[in-house]
Amino acid sequence: MTPRYPFLNLATVNAPYLDEIKEAVTRVLESGWYIGGPEVEGFEHDLGAYIGTEHAVGVSNGLDALRLILRGYMELGRLKPGDEVIVNANTYIASVLAITDCGLRPVLAEPSPLTANLSAETIADALRHSNAKGVMLVHLYGRTAWDEDIARIVADNNLLVVEDVAQAIGARYYGPHGEVMAGAIGGAGAFSFYPTKNIGAMGDAGAVTTNDSELAKVIRALRNYGSDYRYHNIYAGLNCRLDPLQAAILRVKLPFTDKENRMRRDVARVYNTLISNPGVSKPLYVDDFSMVWHQYTVLVDERERFRGFLADCGVATDVNYPQAVHQQPCYAALSPEGSLPVAEEYCQHVVSLPISSCTSVDDAAQIAAIINEYQ
C-alpha cells in the first residue's frame, strides 16, 4: 500500500513536464543523433548560462562527473597519485568513491553539527593531520558549503576545490562580491541528474561546470576515450558521455530549477514553523537559495521508533545516510570506528522527511502535526 504521504513519486514529479518531454524525446528519436550532437551541446550551453560558468560538459552521471574532474586535474599535473583530498565523513559514498577510484587518498573530516557540511574549523582540523592538496566540498542536502572563512583556508593552503553539487543545483553563495551559484565557487563542480535529485533526468545523467578552459578541454577528451580529435587518443580515457535523450529531457526541466527549489523551500518553511516537538531537532532554516532543500533532515534519539511511528501514521521517511563513510565495509581502513564522533552521531540520528513537488504545504502541515504527537 502506498503511504498517505509518500517520500517521493517520480511520475508525479515529472507530470507537469511530460508533454514537453515527449516532444523532446520524439525530436531526438527522429533526428538520428544518438550520441553527442545538438541536444547535448544545447544542454551544456543552457547549464553553463544558468550556473554562470564558461564551460559545462555533459557526462554520464554524478559519480563520473567527480571522477572526471579529479582525473582531469591529474592529467594536468595538478594532482598526482596518492595525493590527499579532504571530504566530510557523512557524505554520500559516491563523493569518496570518486577519490579512491582515481588513486587519490580521502582524508575524512567531521561535518559542522549546524550545517552537516565541512566548515573552516573541520577543514583546519583535517589539515593538521594531513598534507591535503584538495578539498571536496559537498553541498549536502542542498546547502551551500562555502563561506569567507573556508575561502581563506583554501587560499592559504593552496587547495584545489572540487564541488559535489549533486544535491544542490540552484544553490547560491551570497558573498561579499554578490551571488555565486554552487558549481561556480570552486575549480569545478560535479552535477548529478539522477532521477531523484532536485532536477532529475529519466535515467542517469551528469555534468561538470568550470571556468577553467584547460580542465574543460581535458574532461571533454576524457569522457570520450581520451580522444582530442577522431582516432587520436591523447589520454587513456573513459566512455562517460551524456545521452542526448537525457540531455533533451533536462533542457525541458532546467529552466524550472528555481521554481522547483522554491516549492521545496515552501515545504521546509512549513516544517520549520510548525514542528515544535522538543524531541525532534530541526535543520537550520534559511529563507534564501543558500539552501535548496534536497532533503529536510531532522535528528531524533530513537530513529527506528520515530520512523515506525510516522510509518504507522502514513508518513514515509528515508535516512541520508545510515552510516558514515568509514563505517562502510569498503572504507573501514580509512578511519577507525569512533574517530569521527560528530559524523557517526549524525548518521545514527538523522531522518529525512518528505520534501519534493509530491508534498504540498498542506501535506507538510499535516506531517508536522503528526510529528508533534510523537512522544
Ligand X SMILES: *Cc1c(COP(=O)(O)O)cnc(C)c1O
User: Which residues form the interface with ligand X (CB under 6 A)?
Assistant: 61-63, 91-92, 94-95, 138, 164, 166-167, 192, 194, 204, 206
Residue 149 CB coordination number (10 Å): 13
Residue among 98 and 367 whose Cβ is closer to ligand X: 98
**3-class DSSP state of 144:** coil
- Say how many CA atoms lie within 13 Å of 250 toward its Cβ: 36
- What DSSP designation does 235 have? S
Residue among 42 and 203 whose Cβ is closer to ligand X: 203
Q: Whole-number minimum distance, CB 302 to ligand X, in Å?
A: 26
Residue 177 CB coordination number (10 Å): 5
Residue among 95 and 210 whose Cβ is closer to ligand X: 95
- What length is written for the chain? 375
Q: Whole-number minimum distance, CB 98 to ligand X, in Å?
A: 8
Q: Whole-number minimum distance, CB 366 to ligand X, in Å?
A: 28
- Biggest CA–CA distance in the chain, Å, is 66
Q: Whole-number minimum distance, CB 148 to ligand X, in Å?
A: 24
Residue among 193 and 306 whose Cβ is closer to ligand X: 193
Q: Whole-number minimum distance, CB 62 to ligand X, in Å?
A: 2
Q: Whole-number minimum distance, CB 241 to ligand X, in Å?
A: 14
Q: Are 367 and 353 in contact (CB under 8 A)?
A: yes
Residue among 202 and 234 whose Cβ is closer to ligand X: 202
Rounded Cα–Cα distance for residues 86 and 66 (Å) = 14
CA distances from 243 to 28, 44, 50, 236, 248 (A): 10, 12, 20, 21, 9
Which phi and psi (to 5°) does residue 345 adopt? -55, -50
Residue among 75 and 164 whose Cβ is closer to ligand X: 164
